[in-house]
Structure 1
Amino acid sequence: MSGTVFCRKYQQELPALTQAPFPGAKGQDILENVSAKAWQEWMAHQTMLINEKQLNLMDTGTRVYLGEQMTKFLSGADYDAAEGYVPPEQS
């Protein structure tokens, strides 16, 4: 795998992930088409969704929802934000 990928989210060449984030075709697709920057941003957004919406990861519906949101986020489509979430101020 090369050091960069054409990122699906940002539509430009950016540093690549060093390995697939999970096994299977979906993980391979992310490795080949999503930058490390976009993946790190998704991980932070996913954590915020889980915390702010108090999602239960043991629930199958929650995992399906997060999978749908991941696909939207990484493709640049509209995705959910947590209602009332105010990001911390940048220092």
Structure 2
Amino acid sequence: MTETFNPQANTVFCRKYQQELPKMPHPPFPNKKGQELQETVSEKAWKEWLEQQTMLINENHLSMLDPKAKQFLTEQRDKFLDNEDYERAQGWTPES
């Protein structure tokens, strides 16, 4: 049995960009939420979120051991990916 190339198998309809884009090669978390994110968020959007997350962690001195910090980042991630207002790092401006 030969395997045929299916380009759509490597793309998702990205909820942030509202278009078909390359998907993440692996779920970002080893759970149901990770699977959901892999199926609805492009690799591009996820990489952009990781940059934002890093800036928020550093600027706000967040500890990933603190449940409140984790909840804050989860809320900000969902807002970012849904194109809602989210907390940006001070001095950060989106690329034009």
TM category (shorter chain) comes to 0.7 to 0.9
Matches of 1:37 and 1:86, distance apart in 2: 19
> Alignment partner of 1:2: what SS?
helix
2:33 aligned partner: 26
**How many equivalent residue pairs?**
86
8 Å contact kept, 2:52–2:89: no
Matches of 2:80 and 2:9, distance apart in 1: 23
The C-alpha deviation readout for 1:40-68, integer Å capped at 9, x for no partner, is: 00000000000111112111100010011
Which structure: larger Rg?
A: 2
TM-score, normalising length: structure 2: 0.83
Opposite residue 13 of structure 2, the aligned amino acid is F
Q: Which runs of 4+ in 1 moved over 4 A?
A: none
Cα 1:24–1:62 shift into 2, 3 Å? same
The C-alpha deviation readout for 1:26-53, integer Å capped at 9, x for no partner, is: 1011000000000000000000000111
Matches of 2:15 and 2:42, distance apart in 1: 8
Cα 1:2–1:65 shift into 2, 3 Å? same
Cα RMSD after superposing both structures: 1.4
Structure 2: runs of 5+ lacking an equivalent: 1-7
In the alignment, does 2:73 pair up with 1:48? no
Identical residues among aligned pairs (%): 51
Opposite residue 48 of structure 1, the aligned amino acid is M
